A and B are shown apart, each in its own frame.
Chain A
C-alpha cells in the first residue's frame, strides 16, 4: 500500500544487527481439541521454531503473519478482537509453535492481558518473581524490585497485596515483573486495554518513559490504533481472524508524540483504513463498508434526515 504521509524516517539502530524478533509467514491453527502444551516445556531462551504439520480441521487463528522488530524497536500489532494477536505473542515467547512459516526470537518475556499477579504475593514479591525464579536471595530480589518501584511511581506500595492496588498500579507491577525478567524482548498483550481512558493515557506516557530508561525490544499488541501510533516505531495491521498482515506502517515521528499532532492523526487514519474502517463507517468487514443508514455519521449529517 502507499503511505503518503510518512514523516522523515528516523535512522534505526538496527543496521547490521539481526532482528530481535522475526516472524515470517507464520500460521497457527488450533486443533478441535488443544491443550496448548504441557507445563513442563521450557520456552525460555532464544528459540527458533519451524512449522510442524498441523492436524486438519481446526480453528485457524493466524494465517501468514510476518513481523520483525530490530533491537530496541517498539512494534505495535493492531487488529480487531479475535484476530490472533495473543497467539502471535505466544508464538514469539515460545509458548506455541507455528503450523506454517517460522518464528525466531531472542528470549522474550510476556506481559499478559490480565496482569496475572499472584494474589498470595505482595506487590514487590510479584515484581521480583523472575529474580526469585532465577534463585536470587529474597532480600536482593526485593531490593531490585524496590528500586524500580521508586522510579515507576509505585513507592510505598511494596507490601500491598494485588487486590489492594488500582488497575493502573497492577499493570505497572506486572510491567516491572516483565522488565525484571531481564529478557531483551518484551511482549505486551493489550497492557492498558482494561483501564479507563484517563489512566490509560497516563500509562502510555509512563510506558514511553520507562522504555526510554530501560530500552528493550517491544512487541505491543493493542486494539487501540491511536495508542499504537503514539508509542510504536512501526505498526503492523492484522486482518480479522484468521489474522493476516495486511499493512505495515513506519512511524518515523519524534518522541514524545502528541495525540493531536497532524502527523499522528494522519497515520492513525491510515491504520484505520488498513483495518477496513473509517471514523464514520464502522468496520468494513462486517459487510457494510458504505453503510448509509447506520452509525454516528448519519446522525451528524448537516441536512438531517427529513
Chain B
C-alpha cells in the first residue's frame, strides 16, 4: 500500500498543482471560458455528461484496443518476415517508412468505400498509425541477439526455426514491447484521427467525434472533459502494457522508462 501511494502521489500532486495554477490563471486573467474553460467548469461538465462520455468512451476504447492489437499483429508479423528475408526487407522497408507520410484524410474515403461505416475502417486507420514503431523496434530487437548465442545453438544442432524460437524471439521481446508502448501512445490520438476522418452511423460515435462536435458548437467545457477522459485512458493503457512486459520479459531490468 505504501509503495502504491508512492507511485500515485507524485502524478496526483502534479495534476492538482497544474489544475490549481490553471484555475487561478483563468479566474484572475479574464480569459474567455469559451476559449479556455476553468478546471471547475470541466469537472462540472464531466459530472453532468457522465453517461454521454461513458458511452462514447466505450466506443473509443474498443477502437484503441482492437486497433492496437491489429497493429501489433501486423507489425510483428512484418518484422519477422523482414528479419527472415533480406529481399523482403529491401522491398518492404522503404514503403513502410513512406506509409507514415500518407495523410489519413487521403485514404479515408476508399477505406469507408470498401468497409462501410462500421468499426473496421477505423481499426485500419489506427493500425496504420501505430504499426510502424512496432516494426522498427522488433526488427532491431531480432537483430540484436548475441551472435555467440546463435553459434552455441548451432553446436547444439538447432534448426533455423529453433534458433529463432530459443534466442532471437526472446531477445527481441523487450524491444518489441517498447515498440508496443510507443504504438499505444500514438494509438489514442490515432483513434481520434480515425473517428474524425471516417463516417459513422449510430447514436454514439466515440470521444473523438464528441470532441469535434463540441468544438464546433462551442461546448468547450465538455470538449475538455472528453479530452481528460482520453488522457487518463492513455495512462491506464500504458500502465497495463508495462505490467504485461514485467510478466512477459521478467529477465529485463529496465532501469528507466516506466513509473516505478
Q: A116 and B157: CB pair below 8 A? A: no
Most chain B Cβ neighbours within 10 Å, of A39, A43, A95, A132:
A39
| In-complex Cβ contact of B155 among A93, A118, A161 (8 A) | A93
Q: B152 and A116: CB pair below 8 A? A: yes
| In-complex Cβ contact of A163 among B152, B155, B158, B251 (8 A) | B251
Q: B152 and A44: CB pair below 8 A? A: no
Chain A hits for B251, CB < 8 A: 119-120, 161, 163
Chain B hits for A40, CB < 8 A: 160
Within the complex, the shortest CB–CB distance from B31 to chain A, in Å, comes to 54
Chain A hits for B171, CB < 8 A: 120
User: Chain A residues in contact with chain B, CB under 8 A?
Assistant: 36, 39-44, 90, 93-95, 108-110, 112, 114, 116, 118-121, 129-130, 132-134, 161, 163, 177, 181
A95, B167: Cα distance in complex, Å: 18
Q: A39-B160, A129-B156 are in contact. Are A118 and B148 (CB under 8 A)?
A: no
User: Chain B residues in contact with chain A, CB under 8 A?
Assistant: 146-160, 162-163, 166-167, 170-171, 173, 249-251
Q: A118-B167, A163-B251 are in contact. Are A43 and B154 (CB under 8 A)?
A: yes
Q: A129 and B149: CB pair below 8 A? A: no
Q: A40-B160, A163-B251 are in contact. Are A129 and B154 (CB under 8 A)?
A: no
Q: B166 and A95: CB pair below 8 A? A: no
Q: B166 and A118: CB pair below 8 A? A: yes
Within the complex, the shortest CB–CB distance from B151 to chain A, in Å, comes to 6
Q: B166 and A129: CB pair below 8 A? A: yes
Chain A hits for B153, CB < 8 A: 129, 133
For the residues of B in contact with A, the DSSP-based class is: helix
Q: A116-B148, A133-B166 are in contact. Are A41 and B249 (CB under 8 A)?
A: no
Other 14 A-B pairs with CB < 8 A, given A120-B171, A121-B166: A44-B154, A108-B155, A109-B155, A112-B148, A114-B148, A118-B149, A118-B166, A120-B249, A120-B251, A129-B156, A132-B166, A133-B159, A181-B155, A181-B157
Query: Which of chain A's residues has its CB closest to B168's CB?
Result: A39
Q: A39-B163, A120-B251 are in contact. Are A95 and B155 (CB under 8 A)?
A: yes
Within the complex, the shortest CB–CB distance from B159 to chain A, in Å, comes to 8
Chain A hits for B151, CB < 8 A: 36, 90, 95, 110, 112
Chain A hits for B156, CB < 8 A: 109, 129-130, 133, 177, 181
A53, B63: Cα distance in complex, Å: 61
Within the complex, the shortest CB–CB distance from A170 to chain B, in Å, comes to 14
| In-complex Cβ contact of B158 among A108, A109, A133 (8 A) | A133
Query: Which of chain A's residues has its CB closest to B253's CB?
Result: A163
Chain B hits for A36, CB < 8 A: 147, 151
Chain B hits for A109, CB < 8 A: 155-156
List, sorted by A's number, 28 A–B pairs whose CB atoms are closer than 8 Å.
A36-B147, A39-B154, A40-B160, A44-B154, A44-B157, A90-B151, A93-B155, A94-B155, A95-B151, A95-B155, A109-B156, A112-B148, A116-B148, A116-B149, A120-B173, A120-B249, A121-B166, A129-B153, A129-B156, A130-B156, A132-B166, A133-B153, A133-B157, A133-B158, A133-B162, A134-B157, A163-B251, A181-B155
Most chain B Cβ neighbours within 10 Å, of A42, A119, A121, A161:
A119
A108, B155: Cα distance in complex, Å: 8
Chain A hits for B163, CB < 8 A: 39
| In-complex Cβ contact of A42 among B146, B157, B166, B170 (8 A) | B157
Query: Which of chain A's residues has its CB closest to B159's CB?
Result: A133
Most chain A Cβ neighbours within 10 Å, of B157, B158, B163, B251:
B157
| In-complex Cβ contact of B152 among A41, A42, A110, A119 (8 A) | A110
Chain B hits for A130, CB < 8 A: 156-157
Closest 9 CB pairs of A and B: A44-B157, A120-B170, A119-B251, A110-B155, A130-B156, A133-B158, A116-B152, A93-B155, A39-B150
A40, B163: Cα distance in complex, Å: 9
Within the complex, the shortest CB–CB distance from B131 to chain A, in Å, comes to 25
A44, B151: Cα distance in complex, Å: 11
Chain B hits for A43, CB < 8 A: 154-155
Chain A hits for B154, CB < 8 A: 39, 41-44, 95
Query: Which of chain A's residues has its CB closest to B154's CB?
Result: A43
Chain A hits for B158, CB < 8 A: 133
Query: Which of chain B's residues has its CB closest to A114's CB?
Result: B148
A129, B230: Cα distance in complex, Å: 46
Chain B hits for A42, CB < 8 A: 154, 157
A132, B156: Cα distance in complex, Å: 10
Q: A112 and B150: CB pair below 8 A? A: no
Within the complex, the shortest CB–CB distance from B150 to chain A, in Å, comes to 5
Within the complex, the shortest CB–CB distance from A92 to chain B, in Å, comes to 10
